[in-house]
Every structure is written in structure tokens, then in C-alpha cells.
Structure 1
Amino acid sequence: MKNPLCSAQVPLIALSLGLATFGLAAQAQTSVQIYGIVDSGLAHVTNVDAAGHSVTKVPTLTGSFPSRIGFRGTEDLGNGLQAFFILENGLQLDTGVTGQGNRLFGRQALVGLKGAWGALSVGRQLNMTYLSTIKSDVLGPNLFAIGSIDPYLPNARSDNSIAYYGNFNGIVVGATWSTGRDASNAGGPPATNCPGEVPGNAKACRQYTGLFGYESKDYGLNVSYDRLYGNTGAAGGLTSSNNTDVRKTINGYFMVGPAKIGAGVVDRDTNAATGETKSDLYYLGVSYPIGLYTIDVQGARRDTKNSPSDVNMLVGRVSYNFSKRTAVYGAVGRMANKGNSAVALDAGGTVGTGMGQNGVMLGLRHNF
């Protein structure tokens, strides 16, 4: 006698197999990755105040790279089109708190579409000033680096932004437009209290950045443009929507065997409530891998126009790679302040006005 339960189970089994097959197909078209950097160490710097005291500390903002944890994913939509997202949290290993003005995903929080025509994305994201120096700045966001002279450079992100970026056989082009460049009020380069989107004041906290250049394995050159508008309560003296901070950069690199030589200039014109300030920041660096070691050396100078308050920096770093994921590193550096300049060698640090500062650091980095 035929079992009616077995007959009823046949279509259910077929349906279950079909759903399982559909699920496997969906998984094959979607990819989600968890990644991050855990990086910290110990630094000693001199002349942290007018009395000439020194300090030994675990750095807050960065080591060789700022620590982070992130999630990124893509979905294949067919015909060469993909959807993608990035959610990236910055964290400070000295205390375990979140970075970028206490934002959960302060490093990046975006969603977009990409294809052969490039990528279009919306959210909080890296702008073109950040991208312009990635390949030419051999020290990047190191504790001792050009980010100490201009803290905006390693923190060049834009809230409420729409971004486009494309690479066409080495020719790179990109732009961002932000309706409110920085919604955090925590202060400092990662958070400057300029949320924008003000009815009746279209310029308030707007930002525009652009990038054009050429990149290859052997050499590259690009130019970028960045204009920030202010508003009431914004940091950096940009307390009106008529106040602006404009950076124009030229950056390049080329390879000599395994060595990379990178250089650039950042021209800055700040029209703040306290007046106008103009400066040029020049940098030149060399990165040379030797077996499991990498040696990086960089010099920089900020020339402030019509002012004696210039800055000179020299940094050397040696890294030893235990593996592709884990490395130890050490660095030494000097920042020479002139006039009324008070630029600390270590990012986020302090120094006595007009004083020189020496520093040494040791650290450990793990990527996952």
C-alpha cells in the first residue's frame, strides 16, 4: 500500500533542495569580509612643555597605522555591476575607546555601486585629499610623520558625502561632494563640529574634493583640490560659512629597483575668522625593503608665508616582518619648530612653543 506521507514529502524535499540551491547560489554571489589592524607600542618624546619635560607613553592615535576593525562586502548584480559596502571602526588601544570623535564607524561608513565605469558611493568616506598621498607618502599615518604637521591629511574624511572614483588603464579621476562635512563636535582633526545641511545657508559646512592623475607599478603623479566651508561653532577658526580652508596638492612616486621614492607639496590657504594664513608643506621620502626588513626615511618642511614660524621634520623607521600579518618596528624623529610654531613630533602630542622635539618609538602590528 502506498504511504500518503511519503508522497506528501516529495514536493517538500524538492522545495527544500531548491531553496538550499538558491541559498548556495546567493552565497556564491555575495562576499563579506572582516578585517583589521591592531597596532600599538611605546614612545618617548622630549620638550613636551615650556619647561622642557619629557614623557614616555603608549600612543593614543596611531603607531605605524591606526588600529581598526572593519566589515566590507560585495554582491554581484550581473552585467559587471556590483553593490558594495564598508563599515570601519577606529579604536585607540591605549584605552580601548572608539576614535574619530567617538563614532562607531568613524573611519568609513558607506554603500555604493561599482562597475567598469568606476565606483559611486554615499556615506562617511575617505575624500580625495586622503587618497592623493597614499602611494607617495612612505610613512603614511605613522606616529611621527607629515600628519603631525598637518593633522587633516591622515583624517581627510567627509560626512554626508557622495563620492566617485574611477581608474581607466592607470588614469585615475575622483571627486566628493559633502552637504555637511563633519557632524561630530568632539573637536580636533577627526571631529570639527560642522554638520551642515542648514536651511537658507547652502554653503554652511559644504566640502568639495577632486583628484586627477596617473598610476602604474613603476611611477605615478596626481593633483588634488579640497575646499572646506565653515559655520557657527566649527573648529579651526572656520566659524562662518564665508570662512574657507583650501588645500591643493601635487604628489608623485617612482620605483628604483625595489625602492620607492615619494614626494609632494600641499599648498594651503586658510581664510579664518582670525585672518588669512598661507603655507606650503613639502615632503620627500624613501622606502627600501631588504629581505624581511623595510627601511623608511622621510623629511618634511612647512613654510608659513610672511611668518618665521616654520617647521622642519626628519623621521627614520625600520620594520621587521615576522610574517605577512605581523611586524615589529622602531622609529626615531626630530621636529624643529621656529618662531611661534608648536608642532609636536608625535601625532596628538604637545611641544613647547618654538622648541625642538626628539622622539623614539617601538611598536608591534598585527593585521587580520
Structure 2
Amino acid sequence: MATMLSVAGGAYAQSSVTIYGSIDAGVSYVNNQRGGSSVREDTGNRSPDRLGFRGTEDLGDGYKALWQLETGFNVDDGTNKKPTVFFNRAALVGLSGPMGTLTLGHMPDFMYEYLRFQSSGNMGSAYFFHPGNLDNLASQFQLDNAIKYESPVFNGFTLGAMNGFGEQTDGFNKLRSYSFGAKYIGEALNAGLAYTSSNNRAINIGGTLGVGKLLGQTLSANPVAPNAVYANFNADSVKSIGLSASYKVGDFTPHFMYSRIKLETAAGSAAEANYEAGTDYAVTGLDTVGASFTRTTFQDIRWNQYNLINMYRLSKRTQVYIAASYQKADNGYAVINSFLPSNTQSQSVYRVGVHHLF
């Protein structure tokens, strides 16, 4: 639910402003993080903590002006998600009409926009996202200086393309990002396809995947040591592709996802692949159980992760939930999303929380 204010003026002009957001908090236990267990109050788990403002103005003849500002925060201590970027999740302005929608500003790519609704991380818990979130289903990477076009909906289909300008004087492609996507929204079937390419990105591979060296770059002397320090991996380019689908059958909603991310430097390339399958089951109109399995490969490392969540709706806006994840690694360390690496091949997380939308 959101708060809406409407102002009418002139012969046809009408404007509306919506205030919306999400607050999630709970207690989580992880059995192994750099060799020790811990209990913490964790936030933004069912859905990222955020506060947003969006508005439209009716320009007549089917045209509208639109804008959106959205910031992410941590409800446990009140800090901004990215201290140096206030509207870190979205900051955009644009126009929509019979030929589609054009927006400009800071916004997520189509890997997030068109694939996330069929992901276990979005349907369940942030712990269910793939190791390192390299495919960006948790929207930790947005395109700056971007221009995006989305087509009108035609028989359930929407197409999109966007470009984030690097704005560098020593080459058009330096720091540039671009993305393409297609999605279908139907009564039972939902599906998405997306591709993103970004240049000159720094990524914390050591802390999120437990990797000490990659393509000749030293990331950490010991990534699972209690006092481990991580250097970013500097990629010349990051290319991501993914597809997802879900289909509602009675009280069940099975879903599938595949994504592949390729990191490239002058020294070579490394790739992560994610294979995910699961289902949601509506036990009652208020109670939903979700279960999923993900297999992730990166170089010679393999991760198998099993996820389970039970969500009970106290109202349309508020729910309580319990969630659990278990991950087993081969040829590497276990690294459940949102936590530091285990110093063994296994890691498990248990959580109870409350989530409120407004």
C-alpha cells in the first residue's frame, strides 16, 4: 500500500505523487562465518529496506511525464545503504505514451527488472540469491547516466533497451554499461530474458566467493581468516545473461532460472553459472511455503544450496516468516549470500523476521 496525493489543474492536467517503501527486520543465526558462529539482527531480507517517491503528470492524448526517487537503508541502525549515494536504488525522470516509455537517470538493469520475480531471492529470502550476486538479482548494481526505453505491452510482451554512458574523454566504452530485456506477463505464465554488459567494474570477489586469487589479481591473503581484508577484482568487462520463468498451477507456483556471468580482463576470463529451480505452495490464503535448490559453478568451485521459507500474512502489508538455507561447496568455501565465507565447505543460516510494506 502507498500514500497518494493528487492535484488537478488546467483542462486535463492531473498529477499524482506516491510515497512507498519496505521495512524488514529479524534475527539470523549463521553456523560458520570465517570460522565462528554468530547471531545478528539482519535487515532487508524478505525485501530491501527502502523509501521511495514516484509521480506522474497527465499531459493529455495518452502521454504522461513520470519520475521516481528511491533510497535504500538499513533499519537496524538507520544508516544509508550507500552513504555516498542517497537515491542509490533509483533516480529518474521520463515520458510515456502510445509508443512506449523513455526514462533517464540512475536505474537498475534488466537482469534485475525482468528476471527477479521468478528468483528464489525475491520470492523468499535474500539468503537465497546466488553466491556473490554477480547476476544482480538483488539490485546491488545500477546503471549511471542511463537512458532506457520500454515498449508498450503487446499481448503480455514487453521489450526494453538501455545504455549507461561512461562519460569519459578517453573512449566511449570506458565505464559504459548497456542492457537488453524481454518479459512476458500472463495469467499463469511469467517469463523473462535479459542481457547486461558493463565495462571497468570493481567487484568484491574475495569477500563474496571466498576466492584469494583470480586471473592474476590477488584479492586476499586468506579470504576466510578472522581478520581477512579483501581487495576488489577489477574486471575490464562483465557480461551477464539470464532467463527465468514461473507457472501457476493451482496452489503451486513452480519457477526456474538460469544465469551466466563472464568476467574478462587482459589475463583471461572466468565465469559463474547459476541453475535454480523451486516452487511456492499456498497452504492457505494467508500461509505460503517456498522451497528451492540452486547449483552454482565458478571456475572449479561448485556450490549446492537448499532453501526453505514459510511466510504468514498478518495483513495485505505485513507478514512474519521463518527461513533456512544450507550450502555445500566442492573445491572451495561455502558462501551464502549476505554472509562472509565459511572456513569449511558448508554453511547454514536460520532466520525469523517480520516484513512490512507501505
Q: Deviations over 1:21-42 (max 9, x none)?
A: xx74359710001111111111
**What aligned pairs does 1:292-331 form with structure 2 within 5 A after superposition?**
292-305=286-299, 307=300, 309-331=301-323
- Count of residue pairs brought into register by the alignment: 319
**What secondary structure sits across from 2:171 in the alignment?**
coil
Contact between 1:127 and 1:175, CA under 8 Å: does it hold in 2? no
Contact between 2:146 and 2:162, CA under 8 Å: does it hold in 1? yes
Question: Which structure: larger Rg?
Answer: 1
**What secondary structure sits across from 1:111 in the alignment?**
strand
1:177–1:199 distance in 2 versus 1, CA, 3 Å: same
Is 2:256 the partner of 1:263?
yes
**Aligned counterpart, 1:135:** 117
Using the size of structure 2 for normalisation, the TM-score is: 0.83
**Aligned counterpart, 1:175:** 161
1:346–1:357 distance in 2 versus 1, CA, 3 Å: same
Could you tell me how far apart the structure 1 residues matched to 2:319 and 2:51 are? 18
Residue identity opposite 1:33 in structure 2: T
Could you tell me how far apart the structure 2 residues matched to 1:275 and 1:353 are? 28
Could you tell me how far apart the structure 1 residues matched to 2:131 and 2:74 are? 17
Aligned match for 1:65, one of 29, 37, 47? 47
**What secondary structure sits across from 1:139 in the alignment?**
helix
Aligned match for 2:276, one of 271, 274, 283? 283
Q: Deviations over 1:140-167 (max 9, x none)?
A: 1723112444253212421111111122
**What secondary structure sits across from 1:154 in the alignment?**
coil
**What secondary structure sits across from 2:113 in the alignment?**
helix
Could you tell me how far apart the structure 2 residues matched to 1:268 and 1:43 are? 29
Could you tell me how far apart the structure 2 residues matched to 1:109 and 1:147 are? 26
Q: Deviations over 1:47-86 (max 9, x none)?
A: 111x3x10000125x2211111110000000000000111
Aligned match for 2:75, one of 68, 90, 93? 93
Q: Deviation at 1:229?
A: 0.6
Contact between 2:52 and 2:71, CA under 8 Å: does it hold in 1? yes
Higher mean displacement: 130-139 or 319-328: 130-139
Contact between 2:119 and 2:255, CA under 8 Å: does it hold in 1? yes
**What secondary structure sits across from 2:117 in the alignment?**
coil
Is 2:209 the partner of 1:215?
no
Could you tell me how far apart the structure 2 residues matched to 1:101 and 1:300 are? 32
**Aligned counterpart, 1:145:** 128
Is 2:60 the partner of 1:78?
yes
Could you tell me how far apart the structure 2 residues matched to 1:273 and 1:154 are? 28
**What aligned pairs does 1:321-360 form with structure 2 within 5 A after superposition?**
321-343=313-335, 345-347=336-338, 349-360=339-350
**What secondary structure sits across from 1:98 in the alignment?**
coil
**Aligned counterpart, 2:175:** 205
Could you tell me how far apart the structure 1 residues matched to 2:114 and 2:317 are? 25
**Aligned counterpart, 1:14:** none
**What secondary structure sits across from 1:129 in the alignment?**
helix
Q: Structure 2 regions of 5+ residues with no counterpart? A: 1-6, 205-231
Higher mean displacement: 82-91 or 155-164: 155-164
Could you tell me how far apart the structure 2 residues matched to 1:40 and 1:249 are? 30
Q: Deviations over 1:328-367 (max 9, x none)?
A: 1110111112212442x241x1122442111110111111
Higher mean displacement: 139-148 or 274-283: 139-148
Q: Deviation at 1:273?
A: 5.6
Aligned match for 1:252, one of 231, 245, 261? 245
1:228–1:341 distance in 2 versus 1, CA, 3 Å: farther
1:277–1:108 distance in 2 versus 1, CA, 3 Å: same
1:338–1:274 distance in 2 versus 1, CA, 3 Å: farther
**What secondary structure sits across from 1:64 in the alignment?**
coil
Is 2:129 the partner of 1:159?
no
Q: Deviation at 1:116?
A: 2.5
Could you tell me how far apart the structure 2 residues matched to 1:235 and 1:171 are? 33
Could you tell me how far apart the structure 2 residues matched to 1:213 and 1:346 are? 26
Contact between 1:45 and 1:358, CA under 8 Å: does it hold in 2? yes
Could you tell me how far apart the structure 2 residues matched to 1:273 and 1:146 are? 29
Contact between 1:138 and 1:287, CA under 8 Å: does it hold in 2? no
Q: Going by fraction, where is strand more abundant, 1 or 2? A: 2
1:310–1:273 distance in 2 versus 1, CA, 3 Å: farther
Contact between 1:230 and 1:238, CA under 8 Å: does it hold in 2? no
Using the size of structure 1 for normalisation, the TM-score is: 0.81
Overall identity of the aligned pairs, in %: 27
**Aligned counterpart, 2:9:** 25
Could you tell me how far apart the structure 2 residues matched to 1:304 and 1:239 are? 17
Is 2:28 the partner of 1:43?
yes
Could you tell me how far apart the structure 1 residues matched to 2:130 and 2:84 are? 20
**What secondary structure sits across from 1:352 in the alignment?**
coil
**What secondary structure sits across from 1:42 in the alignment?**
strand
Aligned match for 1:56, one of 39, 63, 67? 39
Q: Deviation at 1:97?
A: 0.6
